[in-house]
A and B are shown apart, each in its own frame.
Chain A
Amino acid sequence: MAEINKKFLVGVYDDEDIALAAVNKIKSAGVKIYEVYSPFAIHGMDTAIGHPRSRIGIAAFCFGVVGFLCALTLTTWTMGIDWPMVIGGKDPLSYPNYVPAMFELTVLFTAFGMTFTFFISNGLGPTVKPLLFDPRCTDNKFIMAIDLSKNKLSETEIENLIKASGAEEVSVKQL
């Protein structure tokens, strides 16, 4: 992992509004923020830190298309090519009747494809050891981590910035 042997400054905040304001304040001072950890989603936090917009919607759409094509192939092959049968006096290939199965398979592929893309792209998995700067980030605290090697300002300058932005505690963490 890229984080090995790096020094981080960790600020602990008590409130999501203060944390969000702090991110804006510290960013405007020219400091790059590594990440903010929170017990729940804070709207606008990802853009405030400067994370790019997620492209997972595109992945979801692609999985949906794959699911639909699989369903189309399955129904066409089984009903029309491999063993065509006239049922209820209708053409062996009666696509309107296959809409339910196609719809369900499209949804199934989209949901699972997208969610597993999410797990993989965020490095989530049953054997993953979580990178926790402070375990309270899953309870009630908002944790800001700043990678010192990625910033030009000195440690004390950044520490003062974090303190001034309303942090309860500031600590150094070596990974």
Chain B
Amino acid sequence: MHVTSPVRTPLVTGGKTYADVTEDICKQVEGKPTKEWKVAFVISLAVLAYGTVCLFWTWWEGLGVWGLNKTVGWAWDITNFVWWVGIGHAGTLISAILLLFRQKWRTSINRAAEAMTIFAVLCAASFILMHMGRPWLAYWALPLPNTFGSLWVNFNSPLVWDVFAISTYFSVSCLFWYVGLVPDLATIRDRAQNKVSKYIYGVLSLGWNGSARTWSRYEYISLILAGLSTPLVLSVHTIVSMDFATSVIPGWHTTIFPPYFVAGAIFSGFAMVQNLMLVTRVVYKLEDYITFEHIESMNKIITLTGSIVGVAYLTEFFIAWYSGVEYESYAFYNRMAGPYWWAYWAMMTCNVISPQLFWSRKIRRSVKWTFFISVIVNIGMWFERFVIIVTSLHRDYVPSSWAMFSPTMFDIGDYIFSFGFFFTCFFLFSKYLPVINMAEVKGVIKSTSEKLPLKVSGVSKAERLASPAYKKDAE
């Protein structure tokens, strides 16, 4: 409730009142599924079904169905894992770090971004299970008492750190998301017309009634959760990068990996948020909530993180040369000009050059350009992981072991599985849960909307502005 300077452009346009916010968001949840939604959902189910068949066959036959060989023992599986984990960084970044920085524009996008995070982390986890080959033994990664002579997991190993990091990140993200959902679920509960939805949303909203005591604690724990999630989100991709950085493979063994991976994760995560939100905003007619201001802010972050990633690429090259380590130098020369040169240059073009287009105000405020560049960025980020993983491995220490990797239909099919899963989850979310955090948007509407809500029940605007509470806040 502080007073925003009039220079700042409004975050919610169209002069929305609190009731309008409720109506605009809830009607998507309450209405019957639209035809577009049904078509999109069926398509994603079909994709998921195809992927599930491929995944079933992968598990039935074993990892031999993938294109891996003796030299390249990690390829699409870990590429996809790192790619999805990276995408899963935007949600918590938006809701936690932007909350700590008091960026009010986060309120319109945090709900969908957090949902996207959760689904992306699930997709990432599915690749962990896949590449184990025997997913039913996944519990071996947990520190459980066992019958193998009380041998425990190795806490010195980055792979075990990863188990802790990803599972903690997933659970805390779910928690953060759910806590934020509770007030909105209560809104839907109180509007629900039929018994079934009243019951379901009633159970989910935990008896929330919006009392001042609850709100004050809610704000308190949101702040602490944000404070916890911020180092958490940074730790997750740091630890993912350590899967590579703590090894001795030239091209992996670099200290720059943690910050470089984190920047890349935010970069690709924001690109995915852009893709999803640009479509959601049109389909659900949310143009007043997700404005050009939001799109532009996200594009600025994409440019910033894209530039950090670009600097990291160049630094790697510089250090490879400057260190004088010939194996390192060769690994990087081989990336750029070896048999995988096309992957390297695809990565450079998509990640370093394309986000620089956002320096133009016209482009970063254009829906079409934003959507296009966001897709390009995610393609580029996939290639980044492919370049790091496959090109570092394919030239083994002995030239007779040199090999190339080519994916089979099961490498591709398992990747398709993750898309089917991701979009199926996202469509379900966008239909049955409010895609915008109504409570938080209502909280910022007054200080940032085009005009103050008109209805003031007998108290004039001047009187209201003169009220002691308002004055105190203005100070």
Residues on A lying within 8 angstroms of B by beta carbon are: 13-18, 20-21, 24, 35-46, 48-49, 51, 54, 56-57, 60, 74-75, 78-79, 82-83, 85, 87-88, 90, 94, 97-98, 100-101, 103-105, 107-108, 110-112, 114-115, 118-119, 121-132, 135-140, 166-168
Contact = CB atoms under 8 A, between A and B. Distances in A.
B224 A60 contact: yes
12 contacts: A36-B211, A38-B210, A40-B210, A40-B215, A40-B443, A87-B156, A97-B156, A98-B155, A100-B239, A104-B235, A110-B228, A118-B179
Interface in B156-177: 156, 158, 160-161, 164-165, 168, 171-172, 175-176
B235 A39 contact: no
A118 B442 CA distance: 23
B19 A140 contact: yes
Contacts of A110: 224, 228
Contacts of A115: 175, 179, 221, 225
Contact of A131 (B153, B209, B453): B209
A52 to B, nearest CB: 9
Given A49-B212, A130-B207, A40 B183 contact: yes
Nearest to A118: B221
Interface string B173-213: 00110010011001101110000000000111111111111
Contacts of A87: 154, 156
Interface residues of B, number: 80
Interface stretch (B311-319, B337-345, B465-473): B465-473
B398 interface: no
A18 B206 CA distance: 29
A170 to B, nearest CB: 12
A17 B155 contact: no
A104 B164 contact: yes
B6 interface: no
A107 B224 contact: no
A166 B460 CA distance: 10
Contacts of A107: 168, 172, 228, 231-232
B147 interface: no
B16 to A, nearest CB: 11
Contacts of A44: 1, 469, 472-473
B382 to A, nearest CB: 26
Nearest to B17: A140
A90 B458 contact: no
Given A20-B467, A39-B442, A118-B221, 10 more contacts: A15-B455, A18-B456, A39-B183, A78-B153, A82-B152, A111-B172, A114-B225, A125-B206, A131-B207, A166-B459
B30 interface: no
A42 B455 CA distance: 18
A75 B155 contact: yes
Contacts of A57: 220, 224
B66 to A, nearest CB: 29
A41 to B, nearest CB: 4
A105 B168 contact: yes
A46 B216 contact: yes
B18 A125 contact: no
A111 B175 contact: yes
B22 interface: yes
Nearest to A41: B215
A42 B467 CA distance: 15
A167 B459 CA distance: 10
Contacts, number: 235
A18 B459 contact: yes
A108 B203 contact: no
A132 B459 CA distance: 26
Q: Report which residue of A88, A100, A115 has the largest number of chain B beta carbons within 10 angstroms of its beta carbon.
A: A100
A24 B155 contact: no
B464 interface: yes
Contacts of B213: 35, 46, 51, 122
Given A15-B453, A78-B143, A128-B206, A39 B187 contact: yes
Interface string B436-475: 0011101100100000010111110000100111101100
Given A112-B175, A124-B206, A17 B217 contact: no
A74 B177 CA distance: 29
A43 B1 contact: yes
B363 to A, nearest CB: 35
B151 interface: yes
Interface in B1-55: 1, 17-19, 22
Nearest to B465: A17
B457 A14 contact: yes
B464 A17 contact: yes
Given A46-B215, A104-B165, A137 B207 contact: no
Contacts of B179: 115, 118
Q: Which 8 A-B pairs have the closest CB atoms?
A: A128-B207, A140-B18, A46-B216, A78-B152, A100-B161, A21-B467, A124-B206, A20-B469
A169 to B, nearest CB: 9
Contact of B22 (A43, A54, A140): A140
Contacts of A38: 210, 212, 215
A156 B175 CA distance: 46
Q: Report which residue of A51, A124, A138 has the largest number of chain B beta carbons within 10 angstroms of its beta carbon.
A: A138
A119 B206 contact: yes
B165 A100 contact: yes
B63 to A, nearest CB: 26
Contact of B209 (A46, A94, A130): A130
B400 interface: no
Contacts of B211: 35-37, 122
B210 A39 contact: yes
B1 A94 contact: no
A138 B165 contact: no
Contact of A94 (B156, B459, B472): B156
B326 interface: no
Contacts of B171: 108, 111-112
